[in-house]
């Protein structure tokens, strides 16, 4: 498969939304239109450190990666958090997920960001098989307090 990884553009919105909705459902949540609209607006806003790239094969978008940059208390340069990665199920196991990570890792090195990191559910074995090819998991556990008012 001939893949092109590139930043998302306004023309990608419809397909990005399809993949985003599928990603959201994969993690057992229902898509929320207000959240989706807000995320897409931030992706397109050059003043906000939230970004999206797409994987395109033969002119069709088959994968997305949403990431954000943030300051880090342990480094002099920002860290890159790959928050969402999703590949169309019909296109999996063909290197798309790896191509998205490789693109972001190259960007991390080229821009001098301190780290690239991501997380997944412990039982997401298919994703972990890919991620373990890059690095062992960090061993950290994640704790989340949600403000249900927002």
pLDDT, tens digit, 9 for 90 and up, residues 96-114: 999 999 999 999 999 999 9
pLDDT at 150: 63
Residue 118 pairs with which residues in a beta bridge?
82
Q: Vertex 117, ends 39 and 51: CA angle to 5°? A: 25
**SS3 (DSSP) at 5:** strand
Check whether 86 has a pLDDT greater than 90. Answer: yes
Q: Are 45 and 86 in contact (CB under 8 A)?
A: no
Q: Where are the domains of the chain?
A: 3-131
Pairwise CA distance, residues 115 & 87, whole Å: 23
The CATH superfamily assigned to 3-131 is Gcn5-related N-acetyltransferase (GNAT) (3.40.630.30)
pTM: 0.93
Q: Report which of 43, 115, 55 is spatially closest to residue 91, judged by C-alpha positions.
A: 55
Pairwise CA distance, residues 128 & 134, whole Å: 10
């Amino acid at each position: 498969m001939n893949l092109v990884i590139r930043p998302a553009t306004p023309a990608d919105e419809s397909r990005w939304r399809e993949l985003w909705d599928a990603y959201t459902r994969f993690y057992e949540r229902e898509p929320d239109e207000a959240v989706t609209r807000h995320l897409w607006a931030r992706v397109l806003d050059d003043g906000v450190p939230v970004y999206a790239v797409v994987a395109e094969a033969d002119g069709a978008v088959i994968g997305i990666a949403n990431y954000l940059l943030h300051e880090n208390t342990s480094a002099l340069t920002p860290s890159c958090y790959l928050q969402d990665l999703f590949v169309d199920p019909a296109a999996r196991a063909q290197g798309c997920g790896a191509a998205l990570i490789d693109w972001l890792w190259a960007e991390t090195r080229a821009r001098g960001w301190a780290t690239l990191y991501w997380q997944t559910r412990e039982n997401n074995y298919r994703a972990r098989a890919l991620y373990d090819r890059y690095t062992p998991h960090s061993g950290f556990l994640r704790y989340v307090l949600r403000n249900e008012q927002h």
